[in-house]
Amino acid sequence: MKPASFEYWTPTSVDEAVKVLSGLDDPGDAKVMAGGQSLMPLLNLRLSQPLHVVDLNGVDGMADIRREGDTLTVGAMCRQRAVERSAEVSAAAPLVVEALGNVGHPAIRNRGTVGGSIAHADPAAEMPAVALCLDAEMVAQGPAGGRVIPATEFFEGFLTTALTEEEVLTGIRFTADGPGSGSAFAEVARRHGDFAMAGVAVHVRLDGDTVAQARIAVSGVGLTPVRATGAESSLRGATAAEDAFAAAAAATSSALRPATDLHASGAYRTHVVGVLVRRALRTATDRARGNR
Ligand SMILES: Cc1cc2nc3c(=O)[nH]c(=O)nc-3n(C[C@H](O)[C@H](O)[C@H](O)COP(=O)(O)OP(=O)(O)OC[C@H]3O[C@@H](n4cnc5c(N)ncnc54)[C@H](O)[C@@H]3O)c2cc1C
């Protein structure tokens, strides 16, 4: 199928893109296009029929990767594959690189953008869970200027974010890993490259053998990615060892009520998450020990 007809806009700056959106009678009639890897199928199947498509591919300055002190900013239009191959991202936020390797296939990542993944907010997608786990900040621009939205406030519901219809996501800010930090991403998908049944992103900071900080986010178990706050508290101050990992896995699973769908039952997803949490914690703490 082909998309329903729409007016096609090609802004060359973020200001111009925002002006196009805010100048429409109803900005809700428009869709911003990044890599098109989620939007184009929706348009072609006519599941989405916007009257306006605002293509960000000609916008200057949205695909830079910048490190300033402890802050790494990834431009929203950075292709997933470019970020996956970036030495700068690998050094500052290795969890991003590891998780991106699970997003679809290289052909999709060549085109798909990190900002598109986050703005699309598919609860089974890798990048939203990573952003939540790393306490990333979303930088948005709208008619009233720029604002920064913490990941904990960004994912509001199924494919729904805190961005307004007139706003463009311009970048994602991550805090660079420090000494004693380690992270890991683990997921279960029927085939590599499929959307996962469930995934887990873990970031830990060790003080000696003690867990000083743990952050865990889970994908594929609800309408948004979720933080496993009970498990995080259970780990804080504990010795980084199997019994603490098992308790964190149990705390994570017991807090979830994933739905059953044609891919997996809720009970299976809950079980898988527990296994993934233990596995990811083992890997993340090993990496943290090697990063002192
Ligand atoms: C076969 C296939 C398999 C896939 N498998 C996976 C997978 O395993 N895991 C995974 O995470 N993804 C997967 N994807 C989706 C892929 O990662 C997409 O690239 C991603 O979801 C959207 O990024 P995009 O740049 O293509 O955005 P687009 O498709 O262009 O846009 C997606 C949505 O985000 C909005 N948007 C995009 N950029 C911005 C912005 N800067 N500001 C405001 N709104 C914006 C658009 O308006 C649209 O609503 C798969 C896609 C395909 C086709």
Percent of the chain, pLDDT > 90? 95
Q: Which residue has the higher pLDDT, 159 or 193?
A: 159
Confidence of residue 225 (pLDDT cuts 50, 70, 90): very high
* Residue 1 confidence (pLDDT): 73
Query: Atom 21, ligand 1: which residue's CA is nearest?
Result: 117
* Residue 292 confidence (pLDDT): 72
Distance 106 CA to ligand 1 centre (A): 14
Distance 75 CA to ligand 1 centre (A): 15
Distance 231 CA to ligand 1 centre (A): 30
Convert the pLDDT of each residue in 144-190 to its tens digit. 999 999 999 999 999 999 999 999 999 999 999 999 999 999 999 98
Report CA dihedral (136, 173, 138, 211) to the nearest 10 degrees: 10
3-state secondary structure of 133: helix
Confidence of residue 194 (pLDDT cuts 50, 70, 90): confident
* Residue 193 confidence (pLDDT): 83
Residue 222 confidence (pLDDT) above 90 = yes
Can you give the pTM of this predicted structure?
0.96
Confidence of residue 131 (pLDDT cuts 50, 70, 90): very high
Rounded-to-integer distance, Cα 95 and Cα 104, Å: 17
Distance 33 CA to ligand 1 centre (A): 9
DSSP letter string over 172-207?
A: EEEEPP-TTEEEEEEEE-SSTTSPPSEEEEEEEEEE
- DSSP classification of residue 93: -
Beta bridge partners of 199: 187, 219
Task: Tell me the mean pLDDT in the region 11-21.
Answer: 98
Ligand 1 pocket, residues with Cβ under 6 angstroms: 31-39, 56, 76, 103-104, 108, 112-113, 115-117, 119-120, 125-127, 163, 168-169, 195
Task: Tell me the mean pLDDT in the region 7-16.
Answer: 98
Structural domains in the chain, sorted by start: 7-58 (3.30.43.10), 65-175 (3.30.465.10), 181-289 (3.30.390.50)
The length of the chain, given as a count of residues: 292
Convert the pLDDT of each residue in 55-104 to its tens digit. 999 999 999 999 999 999 999 999 999 999 999 999 999 999 999 999 99
